Amino acid sequence: MSDLSLLILILVLVLCLIVTIAVFVLYSGLLSEIVIKTGPPPVKNVTIAYKYKEGSYKDSGAAFTETCSLGPQLSTIGVFYDNPKQRDADKCRYIVGSVLSEGEEKPDEEVQKLYEEFGFKVFSLPEVSHAVTTSFPYTSPLSHVVGSYRVYPNSATTSRYGHTSITSGNLFCFYSANE
């Protein structure tokens, strides 16, 4: 094979690799619409099994993989507390877990014990009348990373007692449940 044809082959392979990576990142939600709204929450009271983590949101994928492997049939939940642009990545706080039950149903005791054996804490969130919700599609393990870095710039700037968010021309003000 001549040097020119080998060089062309290498360039075509590199181009294919770049296109594949770009398509995967786009598929993972890079250009997906971020929906932020207020109103009745999508769920009533829920019982969740969760683990609290500190660190870069890029590392949250492993926590989602763990919770999904324990309860693949359960919905997952992630709560990211900090804006990674305003706090050191190593100090960002988040919880990751699974929804064990919703509404009046009780969690399956065997499933709950399984999560507890793996170090998850179980907590019941009471029903609320209004909530600010954000949704982002989960299409690949990279979606968690892309989502957390795309949602925060479009949502809340926080203070000690309240949150204000300006998104797509809408202003949301909400306060913690302790007030």
Integer Cα distance of 99 and 140 in angstroms: 20
Residue 24 covered by a domain: no
Residue 119 has pLDDT above 80, yes or no: yes
Residue 26 covered by a domain: no
Residue 14 has pLDDT above 90, yes or no: yes
Residue 29 covered by a domain: no
Q: Pull the structure tokens for residue 140.
A: 């690949």
Q: What is residue 170's predicted lDDT score, i.e. its pLDDT? A: 38
Mean pLDDT, range 86-106, rounded to an integer: 90
Residue 136 covered by a domain: yes
Q: What domain range is 44 assigned to? A: 35-175
98 closest CA partner among 131, 120, 127, 128: 120
Mean pLDDT, range 23-30, rounded to an integer: 83
Residue 65 covered by a domain: yes
Check residue 79 and report its DSSP letter.
Answer: E
Domains contained in the chain, number: 1
Distance of CA 13 to the CA centre of its chain: 33
Integer Cα distance of 164 and 175 in angstroms: 9
124-173 residue pLDDT tens: 988 888 777 777 777 887 777 777 777 766 665 433 333 433 333 333 44
Q: Supply the CATH number for residue 59's domain.
A: 3.20.80
Residue 86 covered by a domain: yes
42-95 residue pLDDT tens: 777 889 999 999 998 888 888 999 999 999 999 888 888 887 778 898 899 999
Q: What stretches of the chain show up as alpha helix (H) in DSSP?
A: 3-25, 60-70, 109-117, 143-151
Overall size of the chain counted in residues:
179
Other C-beta atoms closer than 10 Å to the C-beta of 124 total 11
Q: What is residue 1's predicted lDDT score, i.e. its pLDDT? A: 66
Residue 30 covered by a domain: no
Residue 95 covered by a domain: yes
3-state helix, strand, coil in the chain (%, to 5): 35, 30, 35
